[in-house]
Structure 1
Amino acid sequence: MSQLTLNLAQGSIKFNFPFEDAQALKVEIDNLMQRLKIVASKINNGEQKKAEESLDYQYRGEVLVEIFCNPNIYPTPFAAKVLLTIRNEKIRFSTETELTRIVDDLRQYLEQYR
């Protein structure tokens, strides 16, 4: 199993993350990006926006990984931030980070399997 490295504003965190789960996370994030684009287009067109579903992702392995993002509060996908929590029975790490950082790190992780 390979390790996924998530680069944060100040530092990084690395943990074991199966390829299949990385693919599933990518699908979830791609869906979130579509919802963010819908919100942005409605804002730009002056339309009343319908509340879009939040991303509430969980992975349970050696560590628990939680990623949460509410697409309704960001004007563009590039402004979006996520709440990232990584924990196990001994430690809990939570931070807010840019969605684009997660997207880039995940893409880089998946490319190593091509």
Structure 2
Amino acid sequence: MLQLQRHRCAANAQQTFSRLNVKLHAAGGLIATRPLVLHAGDTTMTVPFTTEGAHQLQEAFQKLFQTFAEKQKAQRPKRWDMMEWRHTSEDIGIEVFCNPNAYTTAFDAKLLITLGSRGGLTVTTEARLSAIASDLDNYLQG
């Protein structure tokens, strides 16, 4: 019985460490990454990501949602600033782009997401803003 409990404990620890990857940052501190799962229509992408990066992206989304709110209240047509956000780590880079001028509301809005690896692999896809914002909220909730 004790052996079975040790095995389960070791298996749980292994799962935890496989989800949480700790890397040494250039400044000398440790940075924990865990997978961020993004749902872009029928495509699901899993990317190693940091909590700091997630908070920065969430802040960019909040500004984008604010832009759409201002756009809805505007009396006259206006050119709105585009959202461009980039995050680069040792192994992968993520770029997120949205042009609020192309969509009526935030619910209609789509993002252009580009993932690039250090080895040169690049994937670009389009995803709904609401879906990616939800994925990011799930990531931050743990």
The TM-score, its normalising length taken from structure 2, stands at 0.73
Number of residue-to-residue matches in the alignment: 108
Note if contact 1:36-1:72 (Cα within 8 Å) is conserved in structure 2. no
SS of the aligned residue for 1:34 comes to helix
Aligned to 2:112: 83
Q: Is it true that 1:8 corresponds to 2:40 in the alignment?
A: yes
The answer for the alignment partner of 1:64 in structure 2 is 93
Q: CA deviation at 1:72?
A: 1.5
Q: How does 1:35-114 map to 2 (within 5 A)?
A: 35-42=67-74, 47-61=75-89, 62-88=91-117, 89-112=119-142
Identify unmatched segments of 5+ residues in structure 2. Answer: 1-32
Q: Which runs of 5+ in 1 are unaligned?
A: none
Greater Rg over alpha carbons, structure: 2
Q: Distance in 1 between matches of 2:125 and 2:61?
A: 18
Matches within 5 A, 1:24-39: 24-39=56-71
Moved more, 103-112 or 2-11: 2-11
* Structure ranking higher on relative contact order (CA contacts 8 Å, 6+ apart): 1
- Runs (4+) of structure 1 exceeding 2 A deviation are none
Q: Structure 1: which amino acid aligns with 2:39? A: N
